[in-house]
Chains A and B, each alone.
Chain A
């Protein structure tokens, strides 16, 4: 198969960047999207041209390193699939393919197709954990968890932190990512203990990092490679409201004391 590629090239964060056209030929339809880019890079190296930098690591759809808008869609044309699991059989011979980095002010470009997603780490550092140390833990089966809750918690915990939700959102909102973590822990008895504190801190940090608001377009769910549900956003809103009410109640109690 042959393709015309329009690839975003940007030397570094300060560079303006732009689309550059490349032709690739003789690609097997069993090749993955990245194997196609590997081939192009080998050609570029042969010509003494700087190869295209793109983020990738496990190449089996679980590490969350890969990104890319492919023809304007985060992670390409397939539903529930990361870029590294897209194969060239999903395209037509002779297609022109546009390849660009995530575009969002909270994810600045480092080089070419690579962006800095450390804002997500900061959100997790604000409370995306259960505050237990590695000693003095009771036997695992002393905390029974209804199977349904545990499964629902897993569904939220399956988020790979790739940033496609932000990239797909017209407001560059991180609500799906943040709500997935809030839900994962809020659905479990272990995580309930500090659920109110967690949601308050995580939402405040999310707001401070330049992510936009949610306006219910549901593009995030449609493009999420792990098909994380927008029901998590509703759950986070409930948790947030309850936490705020609780905080106000606590304030009143302390005043009246």
Chain B
């Protein structure tokens, strides 16, 4: 059993990060120039880390699969970014943000990391404003805030419904400045297909140039993964089409542990699925729940008539509407955390009250808010979201309620990291959504942007120095070492094998099938027999993929089918690990709902006696069962309790 020690400093929670910063080792400017760092990914975490490390004087190479760093999927985050600024004078502080995050995560996150995140949050806003991020402002010229799910204060900073875009442009511009100054080298349109380990330390990556197909070797003194989450394992998700687990999965196969893979977030407010050919799902920001009220008809017969399009939602009288979140959770109402809101929608639809042509949708109604505040005020807050909705659904949400249904959105699980954000492989770091560390079993809205930027701008630049201070005598790593030869050969062999399968079915065929298995058995609700069935189905799918995938085109050219094939092969293996993790966790917590473990009124039932740990999985070889290791979670500052939003 690997001893998983986070290595947080001793002493009171509130002083740990300051203690750490006072004691951590530094690298002097002359030596920084001689040290190479690879950053994989250019979302909020990757771009902020690469630019900050460049500012500090390290030699940085940054990789992205997109044509430019500005397209990473952080760009699609809508609602906002949390920070404990207490600008609204409504009782917020660092401790409350810390507490809300731990509680929202259903007590499955590490106290020390979460406290640090909350304490750094105000600095992020300062930096972003200095970069020129056009956050929403009041008429007095100061910053505006709004509230989000799972909290009772207004601490969310936002830029209309495009906060992720504006923050990413801020990080991208900081990165562009470092590229112009020669501190950072950008390698775009590259997939990272393997991590190279030399003498037990991460020393480089194998990349495929997506335009030419060339297999490239890149070496460094440390490797930082910022490759995002793995929601596309479900095929349909709100992730970008190219979002993938491949760099993280390569790290797992090279010895990094993968923590809590079954913790996935199903977001309650997405546009419902319309048909078999659908390629992706679109999120409608959680901020809509500030003013929108969620309901379904009280009478099943009304729901049926709506599904048959015999009546419209406006025809249903106020007294015939069930605002089920307000009914079940009067204290938080429509602003309960995401996992709670998603499950409540599923419960109503499964019980036969769902609307839309498929019956898998509920209403999100702005009628009251428009009456109270006027159409213009609502347009100013959510205009672009309403427009996007109308574009996709062909229905005007100013006149008729939106229809929404939960969809896969974010993954709390990821590569296990310690307090330094280092994985179990020395010199290999994981930041942002790609690690597991801060959100426990459920992430609160507007906290992903906060974590990505905290890791990249303010945490990693300190912690990585501790490791690199021990590397100042290590010369540039050669890329003709046997370890690079072996990794490059492994990549070339696997690509050839994929190409030479010459089967009958396209990659998408397998990806869709995988998505259906995962959604059905490892989605919003899970149970033992379903999970066991999923294990068999995934094993069958894996074999079928290996024997009958068809990839047109060549290896040495732009070949999107080949890219997808590699990614989907990794997703199939990840699916197996997620199911194993969901099986071992015989409790319900946050986004992980095991039907066997629920309270009489249908709420998640945690088991702190047996499951207050991080489940971290070790790869033990192809075809061999992975090994589970546990990091016990100790709650010294907060006392875990049954979450109540009533």
Taking the complex as formed, is A157 at the interface, i.e. its CB lies under 8 A from any CB of chain B?
yes
A134 touches B127 (CB 8 A): yes
B277–A154 contact, CB under 8 A? Answer: no
Determine if A157 and B391 form an interchain contact, defined as CB atoms under 8 angstroms apart.
Answer: no
Q: Is the CB of B274 within 8 A of A30?
A: yes
Task: Tell me the smallest distance from the CB of B474 to a CB of chain A, in Å.
Answer: 26
CB of B278 within 8 A of CB of A134, answer no
Verify A50–B52 contact, CB threshold 8 A.
no
B67 engages A130 (CB within 8 Å)? no
Which of these, A51, A59, A81, contacts B280 with CB under 8 Å?
A59
Q: Is the CB of A141 within 8 A of B142?
A: yes
Task: Select the stretch in B32-40, B133-141, B344-352, B435-443 that faces chain A.
Answer: B133-141
Give A118 to B557 CA distance when docked, in angstroms.
19
- B87 interfacial by beta-carbon distance below 8 Å: yes
Inter-chain contact B141/A147, CB cutoff 8 Å: yes
Of all chain B residues, the one with the shortest Cβ separation from A129 is: B173
| Residues of B contacting A143 in the complex (Cβ-Cβ under 8 angstroms) | 129-130
Q: Flag if B391 contacts A184 (CB, 8 Å).
A: no
Q: Choose, from B158-166, B368-376, B521-529, B611-619, the stretch at the interface.
A: B158-166
* Least CB distance, A229 to chain B, in whole angstroms: 15
Chain A residues near B66 (CB-CB < 8 A)? 57, 63, 65
Say yes or no for B211: interface residue by CB 8 A criterion.
yes
Could you tell me if A61 and B388 are in contact, using CB atoms closer than 8 angstroms?
A: yes
Q: A58-B73, A59-B280, A89-B394 in contact; A140/B131 too (CB < 8 A)?
A: no
Tally of chain A residues near chain B (CB < 8 A): 77
Contact B131 A129 (CB under 8 A): yes
Closest chain-B Cβ to A75's Cβ sits at a distance in Å of 12
Residue from the list B134, B172, B506, B558 in contact with A188, Cβ < 8 A: B134
Give Cα A155–Cα B67 distance, bound, in whole angstroms: 24
- Taking CB atoms and an 8 Å cut-off, the chain A residues in 172-212 that contact chain B are 184-185, 188, 190-191
**B561 close to A (CB within 8 Å):** yes
Binds B, one of A34-42, A216-224, A246-254: A34-42
A interface SS class = loop
In the bound complex, residues from chain B placing their C-beta under 8 Å from that of A160 are: 165
Residue from B52, B388, B561 within 8 A of A51 (CB atoms): B561
A59-B279 contact, Cβ under 8 Å, with A51-B560, A129-B131: yes
B75 touches A45 (CB 8 A): no
Assess whether B138 is in contact with A190, with CB atoms less than 8 Å apart.
no
Chain B residues whose C-beta falls within 8 Å of the C-beta of A78 in the assembled complex: 391
B131 and A12 form a contact (CB under 8 A): no
Q: Is B265 an interface residue (CB 8 A)?
A: no
Q: Is residue B241 contacting chain A, with contact meaning CB distance below 8 A?
A: yes
- B126 at the A/B interface (Cβ < 8 Å)? yes
Separation of A150 and B174 alpha carbons in the complex (Å) = 20
CA of A185 to CA of B550, assembled, Å:
49
Residue of A114, A120, A132 near B558 (CB, 8 A) is A114
A184 and B387 alpha carbons, distance in the complex (Å): 23
**Taking the complex as formed, is A131 at the interface, i.e. its CB lies under 8 A from any CB of chain B?**
yes
For the complex, what is the distance from the CA of A152 to the CA of B255, rounded to whole Å? 50
Asked if A190 and B130 sit within 8 Å, CB to CB, the answer is: yes
Nearest residue (CB) in B for A121 is B68
Contact B134–A63 (Cβ < 8 Å)? no
Flag B503-519 by CB within 8 Å of A: 1 or 0 each: 00010100000000000
CB-based contact B508/A134 at 8 Å: no
13 further A-B contacts with Cβ under 8 Å, apart from A118-B188, A153-B132, are A30-B274, A31-B277, A59-B240, A59-B280, A63-B71, A64-B70, A121-B176, A130-B173, A137-B130, A140-B126, A143-B129, A150-B135, A150-B136
| B residues whose Cβ falls under 8 Å from a Cβ of A | 48, 51-52, 55, 66-71, 73, 75-76, 85, 87, 122-123, 125-132, 134-143, 159-160, 162, 165-166, 169, 172-174, 176-177, 179-180, 186, 188, 211, 238, 240-242, 274-275, 277-280, 282-283, 387-388, 391-392, 394, 457-458, 461, 506, 508, 550, 552-553, 557-558, 560-561
Q: Which 5 A-B pairs have the closest CB atoms?
A: A144-B141, A129-B173, A154-B134, A125-B180, A140-B129
Query: Can you list 29 pairs linking A and B with CB atoms under 8 Å apart?
Result: A12-B557, A30-B275, A32-B279, A42-B506, A48-B550, A59-B279, A62-B165, A63-B66, A63-B240, A87-B392, A111-B558, A118-B67, A125-B179, A126-B180, A129-B131, A130-B131, A130-B173, A131-B177, A133-B52, A134-B48, A134-B52, A140-B129, A147-B137, A150-B136, A150-B137, A154-B134, A154-B160, A161-B68, A161-B70
